[in-house]
Amino acid sequence: MITFTIKQGLKNIPEATYIREEVFMKEQGFHDEFDAIDDDAYHIVIYINHKPVACGRMFVDNEDLDTYIIGRIATLKQYRGQHLASTIMQKLEEKAVRLGAKKIKLSAQVSAQAFYEKLGYAAIGAIYLDEHCPHMTMIKELK
């Protein structure tokens, strides 16, 4: 059974902390995983049989209030290939629309570019490093 929850503030959904630590810190070697944005961002966690297996977050872009930023999309290794990240993106986009978003922006690992392109995102600007990993900005206009 697959379920999900979206809550504002990371402290209100600690399962997201666990997933991000496992994927981004332990598996991928990132160090600066958590930030002040986590306090106000909306966080989503997907559960399979009540076990937290995937997460993401979303927050308004303070430079463009019609834009929301999605990030920290992560799925535990043993649950990959089940389209959970696509579900997370869909649910966060739906929430953004309800909050008045006209577009979504994200910072994608270059290795995930094709995944986001399939979801309607387009790369803009140059590739840059976030910690040790090449990233690119991608954007999607919402209908």
List, in sequence order, the alpha helices (H) in the chain: 14-20, 84-98, 113-118
Question: Over the stretch 50-105, which tens digit does the pLDDT of each residue have?
Answer: 999 999 999 999 999 999 999 999 999 999 999 999 999 999 999 999 999 999 99
Q: What is the pLDDT of residue 132?
A: 86
- Asked if 73 contacts 104 with a C-beta cutoff of 8 angstroms, the reply is no
- One of 3.30.2270.10, 3.40.570.10, 3.40.630.30, 3.40.605.10 is the CATH number of 2-141, namely 3.40.630.30
Q: How many CA atoms lie within 13 A of 80 on its CB side?
A: 9
Helices of type H across 41-83 = none
The answer for 74, left when phi > 0, alpha when psi is -120 to 50, beta otherwise, is: beta
The rounded mean pLDDT for the chain is 96
